[in-house]
Amino acid sequence: MKNNFILLVSVFFLILFEGCNLLKDNTSSPINDLECKSDLKIEYETNRKLGEYGREKNKVRFVFLSDYHNDDIEVYVNDSLYFSKRNLIQDTSNDLSTFFDYKFLNDEEKPLILFKSSKRDNCCKFKLKKGYRIVYVFYYQDYWIIRYSNIEYPLE
């Protein structure tokens, strides 16, 4: 009798867990399916107040600040391809010519951002922090570096 009860409870939980798995959204997404191989460092420049950089309040500019040689860069925001640059050639960290803007709604939760480099065969994922107008993106010594800032670097 006790064994039948244990068997019945086991079958009940098996059916319950399988039912929960069927209810899950099993759609694949670039962000969830991709495992990033490199480390991520997040930095903050906080020596100036928000708003000193004259950009819209809900707009963030992502600026690439690394040496890129014939690299294909893709950026996903919440599972959707948002920015793509093929054969990106940028020879110095002082080159601010490659960038894109992202505008989010006031009530939008922090978007999940994924940067993917085809040449380096790696990526980084992070939740976008609000309150900064610029995000500088580096790849240096096997680290992705995300630097939140309100300071615009001068062109040299």
CATH number for the domain spanning 138: value is: 2.60.40
CA–CA dist 27, 81 (Å, integer): 16
> In this predicted model, what pLDDT tens digit does every residue of 80-135 receive, in sequence order?
999 988 877 665 555 677 889 998 877 678 899 999 988 888 889 999 988 888 99
The least confident of 23-37, 55-69, 82-96 is 23-37
Number of domains in the chain: 1
* Overall average pLDDT of the 68-77 stretch: 83
Tell whether 43 is covered by a domain. Answer: yes
Tell whether 4 is covered by a domain. Answer: no
Tell whether 69 is covered by a domain. Answer: yes
- Find the domain containing 129 and state its range: 27-149
* Residue 135 neighbours by CB distance under 10 Å: 20
pTM of the model: 0.71
